[in-house]
């Protein structure tokens, strides 16, 4: 059984134009094309589309999604991992709904608001322990305050900048350029500038000590090269650069930049 492009667009809540674009860039090919030029999609294509839409929900750009799909060809395994994340989000949102409902009832009925229960599900600090372990409590506090102080538009712009940087890294790695090339080093410079704009990280303050204890020159150099290694070692970061191979390119380019400039 297969479905026409119009049927899939309606069912998936997307557009025929989007599906044709996915076809043109090789992200989602139709299972067959009719004599009239109409595209048709079978079950395997629908599974691929579901994965694409799930990854888009995470904010990944199309080049990154393409690389993720190439790296993980076992659709069932990939979807199982995504399902686990969705269940966590479902639980978090259910707790948010319950806490907000309780607050509304208390406000309307003049009852007592239970502070301990009001923020159940608002897990904005889910990475707090990891950040504090890596860079200290002050780093988390500064970064959290910075993020909370941004408007919705500012947050969206920062996410877009981060996503574009990742996509540019992937494009450079795919092009086969050398880590010490001018193009790669320009990306490395952008990357360090991007890191510098995040309060609480060693890169955000180049006026500290030079022995690596603070945010000075030595600290920034060690921080940047250390991040490069982490990009390769941690799949959560590697996926932003198209997988381990792309992350390795970023690591090598950052190491060259750090050695010459930090």
Assess contact for 42 and 28: CB atoms under 8 A: no
Work out the angle between the directed axes of helices 16-24 and 5-12 (0-180°, nearest 10).
110
Q: How many CB atoms lie within 10 A of CB 107?
A: 10
Q: How confident is residue 212, by pLDDT bands cut at 50, 70 and 90?
A: very low
What pLDDT digit, counting tens, does each position of 83-98 carry?
877 777 777 778 778 8
* Calculated CA dihedral for residues 191, 207, 146, 87, nearest 10 degrees: 50
Q: Tokens representing 159?
A: 């996410």
Architecture of the domain defined by 3-60: Orthogonal Bundle (1.10)
Q: Tokens representing 79?
A: 């979807």
What pLDDT digit, counting tens, does each position of 20-79 carry?
999 999 999 999 998 888 899 999 999 999 999 888 877 677 887 888 888 778 888 878
Is the Cα dihedral 62, 64, 67, 72 positive or negative?
A: negative
| Beta-bridge mates of residue 38 | none
Q: In this model, does residue 232 exceed pLDDT 80? A: yes
| Percentage, residues of the chain above pLDDT 70 | 78
| Domain layout of the chain by residue ranges | 3-60, 74-123, 132-261
| Strand spans (E) along 16-163 | 32-33, 39-41
Q: In this model, does residue 125 exceed pLDDT 70? A: no
Q: Residues 169, 171, 175, CA angle at the centre, nearest 5°?
A: 115
Q: What is the mean pLDDT of residues 229-257?
A: 86
Using CB atoms within 10 Å of the CB of residue 116, give its burial: 0 to 12 exposed, 13 to 18 middle, 19+ buried: exposed
Q: How confident is residue 236, by pLDDT bands cut at 50, 70 and 90?
A: confident
Nearest to 224 by CA among 251, 199, 242: 251
Q: How far apart are CA 127 and CA 129, in angstroms?
A: 6
């Amino acid at each position: 059984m297969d479905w026409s492009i119009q049927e899939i667009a309606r069912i998936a809540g997307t557009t025929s134009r989007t599906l044709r674009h996915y076809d043109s860039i090789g992200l989602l090919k139709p299972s067959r094309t009719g004599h009239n030029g109409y595209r048709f999609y079978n079950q395997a294509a629908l599974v691929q589309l579901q994965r694409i839409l799930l990854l888009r929900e995470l904010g990944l750009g199309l080049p990154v999604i393409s690389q993720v799909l190439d790296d993980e060809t076992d659709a069932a395994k990939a979807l199982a991992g995504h399902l686990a994340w969705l269940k966590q989000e479902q639980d978090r949102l259910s707790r948010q709904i319950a806490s907000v409902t309780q607050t509304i009832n208390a406000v309307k009925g003049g009852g007592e608001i239970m502070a301990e229960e009001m923020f159940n599900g608002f897990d904005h600090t889910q990475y707090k322990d990891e950040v504090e372990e890596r860079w200290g409590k002050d780093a988390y506090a500064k970064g959290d305050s910075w993020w909370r102080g941004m408007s919705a538009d500012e947050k969206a712009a920062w996410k877009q900048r981060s996503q574009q940087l990742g996509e540019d890294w992937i494009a450079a790695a795919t092009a086969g350029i050398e880590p010490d090339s001018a193009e790669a080093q320009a990306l490395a410079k952008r990357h360090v500038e991007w890191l510098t704009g995040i309060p609480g990280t060693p890169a955000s303050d180049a006026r500290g000590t030079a022995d690596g204890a603070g945010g000075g020159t030595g600290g920034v150099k060690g921080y940047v090269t250390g991040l490069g290694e982490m990009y390769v070692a941690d799949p959560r970061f590697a996926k932003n650069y198209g997988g381990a191979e792309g992350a390795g390119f970023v690591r090598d380019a950052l190491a060259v930049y750090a050695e010459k400039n930090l």
